[in-house]
Structure 1
Amino acid sequence: MYSGCPDKSRSGAWVRWVAAASALVLAATAEARELKICADPNNLPFSNERGEGFENKIVELVARELDAKVTYVWWAQRRGFIRNTLKAGLCDVVPGTPTDLEMLRTTAPYYRSSYVFVTRWDEPDIASFDDPRLRQLRIGVQLIGDDGANPPPVEALGRRGIVGHLKGYPVYGDYSLPNPPARIIEAVARGEIDVAIVWGPLAGYFAERQTVPLRTTLVSPAHDGPSPSMAFDISMGVRRGEDALRGEIETALAKRRTEIDAILSTYGVPRLTIERRAQR
């Protein structure tokens, strides 16, 4: 029979339930913000699904500044990558994109790198497309896209008529294997080619992981006449119109500048001075 006095055991349980529910609500509120990242799950040194790439590490720094939780939409970086991910609304941020990529709204760049020559230490150092030895050497070049489009180094070689000893290595490679872009660096280490001309972050990372010592040398000059530049500023990109998010990310990148530089150094990314340009 109800005596008119509260049941202390039930009252205590109710208080505990309310406290636990409140804690859950507060926790959910604190974790409500997500930073949805478009990234490749098999693309070291940039990213992989285990979070081992340098872009994974930089994204985590940005997320902490934004008090956000990182979630990934994994998609192989093939033709249509941005259309099928960011523009489709599946995610909100693309790290590691060229600053001048017109289909995105990009932040100020957080690093600038260049193509490099990769040789074995027991082979002559090559730094310029005008080095006459290139006409005799077996040269590995990267081919971009499913159609094997020519990157800037191939255009520079073609203008000089250096075409007889080229071997192409698709950037995408065999995606069923780990680290498909590494094949061109491995070919230098095995002596299958004499020199490779490779995008700097790829070269710096994989050259250090070969069983024989390799040398990486920045292409000089970075601007080779009418050929496209060999060097690029790299930013993070968001959808056009999302200026508030872009501004937040840009501020976070600036605040974490020292830590970002340390990450890039750890991964062997060769860097040039960022070209300061007016925002588009």
Structure 2
Amino acid sequence: MSNGSARHAAGRRGGGATAALLALLVAAALPGAVPAAAQVADLVDRSTLRVCADPANMPFTDEQGEGFENKIAELMAEKMGLPLDYTWFPQATGFYRMTLGAKRCDVVMGYVAGGDPVLNTNAYYRSAWVLVTKKSGDLADVDTLEDPRLKGRRIGVVAGSPPGDLLTRNGLMPLAKPYAMMVDRRYENPAETMIADIDSGEIDAGILWGPIGGYYAGKSPVELAVTPLVKEKGDPSLVYRITFGIRPGELNWKHQLNAFIKEEQGAINRILLDYGVPLLDGQDRPIEQAP
């Protein structure tokens, strides 16, 4: 889940699934419920792999091709025997309308499962929001926000993100330090700032979306512990399934992408692990090496 996907998750998981999403899930489970438009063959030129991406959103994508979603796109293009082409647009307001919606490109490489308005493929990884602490500190083995050792500590949190609800529930928000979610990543990087604040002692711990926390913690000069928050009770869940996002109705394209995920899951996992992404299996156990 890129920053854009994290924002979708933040907006949809604060109190459980929305009524609209529940209606879609119920409809999808009924025989014959697939809309007629979804049964029509895709009418998109597939002579190139056209990817919609943010030009400055590490560790996911950037224009230099340095992100893990760039690497997965390169693998996809290689396996499909297609040249790779990007449409660059910041993952903020208007992203879908100006990319997938305008048919300028055909796939977003990281989208939270259930996130409107796209059609999701099968998930190609699961991860969670993580607690980042110093390995040498007394919070290094904390694995839930209910832990009493967090009382009276200053914790960094992305403003408006799902963990904020849990900090409030556990009485930790009064001392929390907020970091902006909606920024132009060409000029600001709240995740890097949060990690630097942990290193300096400005804050005692920080909570970041797993791929972001794992990547930037790995770049820190201080040894940091990165702990997936999989033990939290009730909503919002801090564990998410990440998919490729495509236009609704393009079922043929969805089947092709699902086949790629199935055939290349091991290679995809290796890319993700190389970038420090905390991968989880279906039982929320860490995946520490690719098959």
Q: Give the TM-score normalised by the residue count of structure 1.
A: 0.80
**C-alpha separation in 2, matches of 1:178 and 1:263:** 26
**C-alpha separation in 2, matches of 1:252 and 1:139:** 40
| Of 75-84 and 152-161, the range deviating more from structure 2 | 75-84
Residue in 2 that maps onto 1:35: 49
Matches within 5 A, 1:253-272: 253-272=261-280
**C-alpha separation in 1, matches of 2:265 and 2:249:** 25
Residue in 2 that maps onto 1:104: 118
**C-alpha separation in 1, matches of 2:147 and 2:195:** 21
Q: Is the 8 A contact 2:191 2:213 kept in 1?
A: no
| One-letter amino acid of the counterpart of residue 251, structure 2 | D
Residue in 2 that maps onto 1:134: 150
**C-alpha separation in 1, matches of 2:267 and 2:221:** 29
Distance 1:164 1:178, change over 3 A: closer
Counterpart of 1:248 (choices 242, 256, 269) is 256
Map Cα deviations across residues 109-144 of structure 1 (whole Å, 9 max, x no partner).
01000011001122222211111122211110012x
Percent sequence identity over matched residues?
39
Where in structure 2 are there 5+ consecutive unaligned residues?
Answer: 1-45, 284-291
Distance 1:106 1:118, change over 3 A: same
Counterpart of 1:161 (choices 133, 148, 171) is 171
Residue in 1 that maps onto 2:101: 87
Residue in 2 that maps onto 1:15: none
Matches within 5 A, 1:179-258: 179=189, 181-221=191-231, 223-225=232-234, 227-258=235-266
**C-alpha separation in 1, matches of 2:55 and 2:182:** 13
Partner SS for 1:247: helix
Counterpart of 1:175 (choices 167, 182, 185) is 185
Q: Is the 8 A contact 1:139 1:197 kept in 2?
A: yes
- Deviation (angstroms), 1:189: 1.6
Map Cα deviations across residues 80-110 of structure 1 (whole Å, 9 max, x no partner).
3222211122211011101111311111101
Alignment of 1:53 with 2:62, yes or no, is: no
Number of residue pairs matched?
237
Distance 1:274 1:50, change over 3 A: farther
**C-alpha separation in 1, matches of 2:57 and 2:136:** 29
- Deviation (angstroms), 1:174: 4.9
Counterpart of 2:281 (choices 270, 273, 277) is 273
**C-alpha separation in 2, matches of 1:161 and 1:204:** 26
Partner SS for 1:256: helix
| Of 61-70 and 34-43, the range deviating more from structure 2 | 61-70
**C-alpha separation in 2, matches of 1:142 and 1:56:** 25
**C-alpha separation in 2, matches of 1:95 and 1:112:** 14
**C-alpha separation in 1, matches of 2:184 and 2:247:** 30
**C-alpha separation in 2, matches of 1:176 and 1:255:** 35
**C-alpha separation in 2, matches of 1:36 and 1:174:** 23
**C-alpha separation in 2, matches of 1:51 and 1:178:** 19
Partner SS for 2:174: coil
Partner SS for 2:132: strand
Partner SS for 1:94: strand
Q: Is the 8 A contact 1:43 1:179 kept in 2?
A: no
Residue in 1 that maps onto 2:40: none
Partner SS for 1:64: helix
Alignment of 1:75 with 2:83, yes or no, is: no
**C-alpha separation in 1, matches of 2:184 and 2:107:** 26
Q: Is the 8 A contact 1:207 1:214 kept in 2?
A: yes
Where in structure 1 are there 5+ consecutive unaligned residues?
Answer: 1-31, 144-149, 276-280
**C-alpha separation in 2, matches of 1:229 and 1:262:** 26
**C-alpha separation in 2, matches of 1:161 and 1:254:** 43
Partner SS for 1:55: helix
| One-letter amino acid of the counterpart of residue 277, structure 2 | V
- Deviation (angstroms), 1:179: 4.9
| One-letter amino acid of the counterpart of residue 229, structure 2 | V
